[in-house]
Amino acid sequence: MAFEIIESCVNCYACEPLCPNDAIYQAKPHFMIDADKCTECIGDFMDAQCASICPIEGAILDDLGTEVNPIGSLTGIPMELLAQYQAALDATYQAALNDKSA
């Protein structure tokens, strides 16, 4: 049982000092988690500290590959509403491209 930080990590250093087991370390191109040290904060905290502070939603995965901090977890925006906003943004962008090429 261990988390993994993926390539969307921006090396912001927010998670590293919070890990109670010193499992997070700086690496290239992004921070990594030492699987031998990571306990997913079980026994120390109710929530994984790295996932609770990470500003990049979806950058931390559990051992099944599931996002521990999924999109919407920081903002509290429900996925359905986020999808509606994204669709509206995409439509506006597409309309602007069409107007520019016309």
Residue 77 pLDDT: 75
Indicate whether 11 and 32 sit together in one domain.
Answer: yes
Residue 67: helix, strand or coil by DSSP? strand
Q: Which residues contact 59 (CB under 8 A, 6 or more apart)?
A: 5, 6, 8, 9, 69
- Provide the token pair at 29: 């191109």
Confidence (pLDDT) at 15: 95
Q: What is the token pair recorded at 94?
A: 């597409």
The whole-number average pLDDT for the span 34-46 is 95
pTM of the model: 0.71
Q: For residue 1, is pLDDT > 80?
A: no
- Domains contained in the chain, number: 2
Q: How far apart are CA 47 and CA 74, in angstroms?
A: 14
Shared domain for 15 and 60, answered yes or no, is: yes
63 and 12 Cβ atoms separated by less than 8 Å: no
Q: Work out the pLDDT band at 76, boundaries 50, 70, 90.
A: confident
- Residue-range definition of the domain harbouring residue 83: 76-102
